[in-house]
């Protein structure tokens, strides 16, 4: 017990962990699935999990509603009378176990990082995140104060050159195979993982793209994303990385500065001085003419 706890008689609130965290590193078990990597303010992970699950579910319900098999419902109604109460209860429990939700919060092993596994493989993760950012751009509103970035990952794998290459190749080919003269860049972000060199990853991705396309680090047509955290790697290939400010929610919202601050006053004075200088230079040019 710490000194503070001894004095106050209270215990510090435990950091957020998913229910199965103590059993296994669940993020590593999501390999082969798509996911959403969420960065947030530290110590706010618990609230962010609630926020992002609500956001993802609302967006998915709007753009990718669950399929309803009407024929199955009709068959169930027809056979309903012939089933005992025990059979009906068993089927209901089986259905509840089967429907665990389309999004599962996992522990990433890194503070300020939340990993959301997309259990429903029918939902395209890049398009899903695009819908979220399109709404943010249109409304300038977002229903979470603590989320910083929402990054789509099309496939999760082990952070090894061979596995990363295998995981990202289908998505690279989808964008580059039948297209000429596209520009691209490779963005590698590592968190709590130093066993693999970023340059090795970049070179592997460039080799898959091939020589028909050129690298552009400022305004690329396509961005290859490699996100590594602990012993998990997420890969994705996107076309709107810079449009959505590197999937940074706060950069898009960009709240206006508070009026009357010293910083704003200093900025205004600098701009006024620059304008006066330009005007003086123009007058000098006219006098010389």
- pLDDT tens by residue, 187-223: 999 998 878 999 999 999 999 999 999 999 999 999 9
Q: Identify whether residues 255 and 149 lie together within a single domain.
A: yes
The residue range of the domain holding 40 is 15-67+75-153+248-283
In a domain, 94, yes or no: yes
Residue 136 in any domain: the answer is: yes
Burial 190-218 (b: 16+ CB within 10 A, else e): bbebeebeeeebbebbbebbeeebeeeee
- pLDDT at 89 > cutoff 80: no
Residue 289 included in any domain: no
Question: 262 or 15: which carries more pLDDT confidence?
Answer: 15
> What is the rounded average pLDDT for all residues in the chain?
81
How far is Cα 118 from Cα 185, in angstroms, rounded to an integer? 26
Residue 230 lies in a domain: yes
Whether residue 256 is predicted with pLDDT greater than 80 in this model: the reply is: no
Q: Are residues 263 and 137 in the same domain?
A: yes
Does one domain contain both 222 and 255? no
- 121 and 22 together in one domain: yes
Residue 9 confidence (pLDDT): 61
| Domain contains 135 | yes
What is the structure's pLDDT at 287? 45
Judgement on whether residues 129 and 232 belong to the same structural domain of the protein: no
Residues 79, 101, single domain; the answer is yes
- Whether pLDDT at 97 is above 50: no
Give the residue-averaged pLDDT of 257-286. 52
Query: Rounded to whole angstroms, what are the CA distances from 146 to 53, 104, 252, 257?
Result: 14, 19, 14, 19
What phi and psi values does residue 40 have, to the nearest 5 degrees? -155, 175
Taking the complete model, does pTM exceed 0.85, yes or no? no
Q: Is residue 288 part of a domain?
A: no
Query: How many whole angstroms separate alpha carbon 248 and alpha carbon 148?
Result: 6
Residue 122 shares a structural domain with residue 89: yes
Q: Which of 20-24, 53-57, 224-228 has the lowest mean pLDDT?
A: 20-24
Selected residue with higher pLDDT from 194 and 140: 140
62, pLDDT greater than 80: yes
The pLDDT, as a whole number, for residue 70 is 41
Burial (Cβ within 10 Å: 0-12, 13-18, ≥19) of residue 65: exposed
What is the C-alpha to C-alpha distance for residues 223 and 241, in angstroms, rounded to an integer?
Answer: 7
The domain total for the chain is: 2
Provide the pLDDT for residue 289. Answer: 45
**What is the C-alpha to C-alpha distance for residues 160 and 35, in angstroms, rounded to an integer?**
18
Residue pLDDT, tens place only, 142-173: 999 999 999 999 999 999 999 999 999 999 99
Residues 103 and 56 in one domain: yes
- 136 and 266 in a common domain: yes
Q: Domain for residue 257, yes or no?
A: yes
In this structure, the answer to whether residues 96 and 190 fall within a common structural domain is no
| 192 and 59 part of one domain | no
Same domain, 102 and 203: no
């Amino acid at each position: 017990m710490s000194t503070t706890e001894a004095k106050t008689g209270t215990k510090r609130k435990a950091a957020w962990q998913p229910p199965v965290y103590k059993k296994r590193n669940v993020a590593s078990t999501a390999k082969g699935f798509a996911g959403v990597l969420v960065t947030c303010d530290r110590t706010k992970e618990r609230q962010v999990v609630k926020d992002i699950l609500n956001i993802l579910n609302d967006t998915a319900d709007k753009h990718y509603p669950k399929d309803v098999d009407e024929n199955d419902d009709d068959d169930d109604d027809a056979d309903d009378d012939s089933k005992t109460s025990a059979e009906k209860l068993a089927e209901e429990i089986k259905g509840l176990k089967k429907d665990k939700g389309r999004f599962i919060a996992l522990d990433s092993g890194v503070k300020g990082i939340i990993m959301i596994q997309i259990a429903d493989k029918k939902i395209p993760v890049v398009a899903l995140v695009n819908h979220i950012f399109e709404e943010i751009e249109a409304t300038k509103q977002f229903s979470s104060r603590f989320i910083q970035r929402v990054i789509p990952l099309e496939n999760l794998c082990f952070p090894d050159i061979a596995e990363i290459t295998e995981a990202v190749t289908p998505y690279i080919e989808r964008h580059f195979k039948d297209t000429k003269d596209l520009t691209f860049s490779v963005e590698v972000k590592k968190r709590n993982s130093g066993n693999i060199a970023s340059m090795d990853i970049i070179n592997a991705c460039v080799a898959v793209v091939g020589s028909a396309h050129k690298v552009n680090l400022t305004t690329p047509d396509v961005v290859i994303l490699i996100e590594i955290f602990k012993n998990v790697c997420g890969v994705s290939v996107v076309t709107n990385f810079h449009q959505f400010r590197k999937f940074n929610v706060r950069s898009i919202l960009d709240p206006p500065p508070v009026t009357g601050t010293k910083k704003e006053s200093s900025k205004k004075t600098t701009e006024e001085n620059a304008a006066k200088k330009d005007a003086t230079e123009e007058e000098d040019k006219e006098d010389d003419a």
